[in-house]
Amino acid sequence: MNGPSPLNKHPMTGFPQVCFIKNTVANPNIVIGDYTYYDDPEDSENFERNVLYHYPFIGDRLIIGKFCALARGVKFIMNGANHKLSGFSTFPFQIFGNGWESVIPQPNELPFKGDTIIGNDVWIGYDSLIMPGVKIGNGAIISSRSVVVSDVPAYTVVGGNSARQLKQRFSTEVISELEAITWWDWPIEKISKHLAVIVSADIAALRACRDG
């Protein structure tokens, strides 16, 4: 057996609160990897409601890798939330028109943090908030109700508001090797065959699975 189909929206029979969201996201600027799921008993298929201020004319993307676990209430603030900061007032007068459109900011006057990129095998806890342009590395863990305002290194646990590093999950040497092995890119048959090693902490065994 090679696990559930990544094309099945609800891979757990009788448990619709878990959804493989690659199958439900329609926005072309939201890219989701296989097997990444969102867990929400209210409406797990409507993950896009958690991607805020994501206006198509801005063009920023939310990219989430494979095998990520996203808990209920995880939200992503995108670049459309930004206001002009260089003047005395940050109020967006221009959006209300009626003559106020004369102060529309130029594109280079608005803060732009770029794409928000979440790696593979990332666990993002309940009610966490990810700010625009943040990069979260492979294997990272974001504690519940964290506010992530800066990049998170691979295989690092962060938490708090603003989120700070709590610990590195493995040694620097092991993390470097995990980044090179990239088990999440293996064929699913190979992943399924070596699950016991993937969920262990034996880097030598994982290396042997890659090379075998």
Give the span between the Cα atoms of 133 and 126, in whole angstroms: 20
Q: Are 51 and 101 in contact (CB under 8 A)?
A: no
Q: Residues 10, 54, 83, 194: which is the catalytic one?
A: 83
Residue pointed to by tokens 């999440």: 184
Query: Is 83 among the catalytic positions?
Result: yes
User: Tokens in use for 45?
Assistant: 């298929």
Give the pairing type, strands 163-168 and 135-136.
unpaired
Q: Which long-range contacts (CB under 8 A, 24 or more apart) does 39-48 make?
A: 39/69, 39/70, 39/71, 39/72, 40/72, 40/73, 41/17, 41/72, 42/72, 44/10, 44/16, 44/17, 44/18, 44/19, 45/9, 45/19, 45/21, 47/19, 47/21, 48/24
Q: What are phi and psi of 66, to 5 degrees?
A: -85, 155
Q: Could you give the residue numbers annotated as active site?
A: 83
